[in-house]
Amino acid sequence: MHIKNILSFFVVFIDLWLLTGCSVINTYKVAVFPPSWMNLVQISNDVYVEKGMSEALKKVLLTQKMESKRFVIDVWGEIKSKPIIYACESKECAKSFNLSAPAHAVSRYTILRPEGFTKYLIAHETSHSEVIERAGSFLNWKNIPQWFDEGLAVVVGPDPRHNESAWEKIISENLPHPSQEELMKIHSIKAWNKATHEYNENLDYSEIVVTYATAGHYVRKWYNKVGRSGLLKLFEKINAGYSFEKAYREILENNTANQLKPHNNAIQGTSGQRGFSKFILAAKSPG
């Protein structure tokens, strides 16, 4: 059994390397080395930070992490995964993980730069951990398309660069973006990264990220129709052997007749504000 577990780990490692390229190798050292070997010290049960991090920054991180939980619970109902945070302060620390984005999730680990010390991005990465946890197996997780995984993470953690206000900016300024049909063809992490780069080529990542805002918009519409029960049912079906596409379609079809009925946990994307908005009582119709 021990040998089987070791082999399974290397299969996962190699597969992820093939999917995402060499950039994942440094990040994946978190699964091999203890935190102390990476110059990290523990400041809470599930948070490790770069040695020497300022007390002020530690406080920001812990506060934002605590506030992030309500966003995850609002969508998922509870947090089943147990993500561990590795947080950097210096550029050298981030570089050692090959971390160029503010935040990045690797299995049950969330790796952060100071720009990622926000409740929205921590909630976003926690949602990725929830998807992995609830998928039940590596193969099930691999078969969940990246557009849905990222779109759901945007719904959970509506960072201003990705939220519904960002989508409205895309439409009002006629920014190039994938259609719904094009979006749903983006299945792999590699394809997702390629599309993200292409659509943001002439845009500032610190202001808007087109693929994330687009995916968030369409997943939010789906979630507002099917509710939390539909989301949980999706993963029940995936664990029962359904393909993602079949489970997603059936849940949507079963809820179409009731799409105008109240969902206590329907989410309205931010509009006119930069942050997480209040829940609405009725799901919006398509449009």
Residue 100, classified by CB atoms within 10 Å of its CB into exposed (0-12), middle (13-18) or buried (19+), is exposed
End-to-end CA distance of the chain: 52
- Distance, CA of 70 to CA of 66 (rounded, Å): 8
Q: How does the average pLDDT of the chain come out, rounded?
A: 83
Residue type, 166: A
CB 145 within 8 A of CB 191: no
Residue 204, classified by CB atoms within 10 Å of its CB into exposed (0-12), middle (13-18) or buried (19+), is exposed
CB 233 within 8 A of CB 253: no
**Does position 276 have pLDDT exceeding 50, yes or no?**
no
Q: Tell me the pTM.
A: 0.81
- Band of the pLDDT at 26, cuts 50, 70, 90? low
Q: What is the pLDDT of residues 178-234, one digit of tens each?
A: 999 999 999 999 999 999 999 999 999 989 999 999 999 999 999 999 999 999 999
Query: Which domains, ranges and CATH numbers included, belong to the chain?
Result: 1-135 (3.40.30), 137-287 (no CATH)
Q: If you search the block for the tokens 């805002």, which residue do you land on?
A: 213
Could you list the beta-strand ranges (E) of 4-157.
40-44, 47-50, 84-87, 103-106, 109-112
Range with the largest mean pLDDT of 100-104, 171-175, 250-254: 171-175
Q: What is the pLDDT of residues 80-136, one digit of tens each?
A: 999 999 999 999 999 988 888 899 888 788 999 999 999 999 999 999 999 999 999
Record the tokens describing residue 245, joined without a space: 């596409």
CB 106 within 8 A of CB 30: yes
Q: What is the dihedral of CA 99, 103, 106, 110, to 10 degrees?
A: 120
- Band of the pLDDT at 28, cuts 50, 70, 90? low
Neighbours of 65 (CB within 10 A): 23
Residues 6 or more apart whose CB falls under 8 angstroms from that of 88 comprise 49, 50, 94, 97, 99, 111, 112, 113, 114
